[in-house]
Structure 1
Amino acid sequence: MFGIGLPELAVIALVAMIVLGPDRLPQVAKQAGQMIRQVRRMANNARDDLRDELGPEYADLELRDLDPRVIVRKHVMEALAEEDDEASRPGGRPLAPGELPPYDTEAT
């Protein structure tokens, strides 16, 4: 949750109690909870509208999948998996100690 641990939450609660006072704190907490529920509901509606507009082939679409960091990570992991597959092929065996790598005279 945003990298906030228990000690940080305790400090935030203490400051909120001092600033708002014990009388208004429950009311403010209730309003914050309602606002979070409303934002979550709006995000879910936006996701559902996007799924409806894109059609049935995108029924399993998640908004996290559209994050550029997730897309790059996915492609990098696929490329690494392909390299592992190539290395595990019979011709892709590791070199023995002292063995020279193959040399292609037509490569350069």
Structure 2
Amino acid sequence: MFGLTFEKLFLVAIIAGFVLGPQRLPGYAHRLGRAVRTLRHFVDSTRSTAEAEMGVPLRRSEWESLDLKQYDPRRIVADALRENDALRENDTATPTDPELVAEAARVRPGQKYLITGPSSHPRRVLIESLPENDPRRIAAEASTRENAC
């Protein structure tokens, strides 16, 4: 714990003996012992109170078995980005898909986003992020070219 080994604690005790002197050292050792007992009593009472309120015994082995790294925000974002990339790679949109052709017909000139999905959960999709062969992107680019001329 905290990188403290027996040798380091022994060295701290020797230094404390020199700094405090032989007359004050027993008093400070007694205070340290009392503080450790108080801390131990506090931890035990807190643990027993938590166990009583939750109704579940709190064992150290159970806490150590939990993988808290799964809740790391960086990991969550990285996993979401990997899923998004996998979805893009697996996107098999073809120009003959009737739903995509119907959505492509609704694309207006200068439109940057496409609203997809059901009305209860619409999604905004950036048209530039669509694959090159997607009819919605082709329709948006065509309407942009027509307006530019």
TM-score (norm 2): 0.40
How much does 1:61 deviate? 1.6
Percent of aligned pairs with the same amino acid:
30
Compared with structure 1, are the counterparts of its residues 52 and 24 closer, same or farther at alpha carbon in structure 2 (3 Å cutoff)? same
- Distance in 1 between the 2:61 and 2:42 partners? 16
Letter in 2 for 1:71: L
Residue 62 (structure 1) aligned to one of 32, 35, 59: 59
Larger Rg belongs to: 2
Structure 2 segments unaligned to the other structure (5+ residues): 71-89, 91-149
- Distance in 2 between the 1:11 and 1:61 partners? 35
Alpha carbon RMSD of aligned pairs, Å?
2.9
Please state if 1:71 is matched with 2:63: no
TM-score (norm 1): 0.53
Contact 1:47–1:62 (CA under 8 A) maintained in structure 2? no
Compared with structure 1, are the counterparts of its residues 47 and 65 closer, same or farther at alpha carbon in structure 2 (3 Å cutoff)? same
Higher helix share: 1
- What count of residue pairs does the alignment treat as equivalent? 72
How much does 1:7 deviate? 2.5
Higher strand share: 2
How much does 1:64 deviate? 6.6
